[in-house]
Amino acid sequence: MRTCVLSAQLVSEDSAVWQLRDMQARDLDAVMLIEQAAYPFPWTRGNFSDSLNSGYECKVLHDAFGKMAGYFLLMSVVDEYHILNITVRPDLQGQGVGRLLFKEIKSLALGNGCSSLLLEVRPSNGQALAVYKKMGFDQIGLRKNYYPAGEQAREDALVMRLVL
């Protein structure tokens, strides 16, 4: 169990001030509201609790009014950080918040001796794909039938890596 909640103030390119801190169980109501608004196939509350209990690097970002703006969950595998989930509140997407989160992820990864970031994304998620390419990720693989896609259908995952 975490005994101390690390918090950091971040300033985005437009000079807005944000607060990044460890995700806790009490954040999950707000996390689930964003998750369910952001994805057609959202993570369950159990997925988030499991990640917290597994000790993954889980962070929440709040805006200057104390409202949750986004979050990310990272799993460290040897010298690589696997981005399990990165999400920005829908009304804030496309305004540089994702870039701010990636900057923080890169800095956490480098601070923990990681040399690359890895993630999976649906080929149908054009917005996320465009963001990841912009951030410098390259496709390195494909996982067949990785994601649920409704009516017992499945969708592949593109595996993308960013070398730091």
Ligand X SMILES: CC(C)(COP(=O)(O)OP(=O)(O)OC[C@H]1O[C@@H](n2cnc3c(N)ncnc32)[C@H](O)[C@@H]1OP(=O)(O)O)[C@@H](O)C(=O)NCCC(=O)NCCS
What is the number of other CB atoms lying within 10 angstroms of the CB of residue 134?
11
For this structure, is 132 an active site residue?
yes
- Number of residues lying near ligand X (CB under 6 A): 19
Q: Which of 39, 37, 32, 60 is nearest to 122 (CA)?
A: 39
Q: How far apart are CA 46 and CA 53, in angstroms?
A: 10
Q: Which of 25, 64, 110, 130 binds ligand X (CB under 6 A)?
A: 130
Angle at 83 between CA 78 and CA 85, to 5 degrees: 145
Tell me which of 56, 71, 81, 132 is the catalytic residue: 132
Q: Is 97 helix (H, G, I), strand (E, B) or coil?
A: helix
Tell me which of 80, 120, 146, 155 is the catalytic residue: 120
Stretch that binds ligand X, among 52-60, 73-81, 130-138, 139-147 (CB under 6 A): 130-138
What is the number of other CB atoms lying within 10 angstroms of the CB of residue 27?
19
Going residue by residue from 15 to 44, which x/- string records binding to ligand X, judged by CB under 6 A?
-----------------------xx-----
Q: Is 53 in the site for ligand X (CB under 6 A)?
A: no
Q: How far apart are CA 140 and CA 87, in angstroms?
A: 22
14 or 151, CB closer to ligand X?
14
Q: How far is the CB of 41 from ligand X (least distance, A)?
A: 10
Q: Is 51 in the site for ligand X (CB under 6 A)?
A: no
Packed helices 126-135 and 97-111: angle between N→C axes, nearest 10 degrees: 50
Q: Is 88 in the site for ligand X (CB under 6 A)?
A: yes
The residues of the shown chain that bind ligand X, judged by CB under 6 A, are 38-39, 86-88, 93-99, 121, 125, 127-128, 130-131, 134
Residues labelled as active-site residues: 120, 132
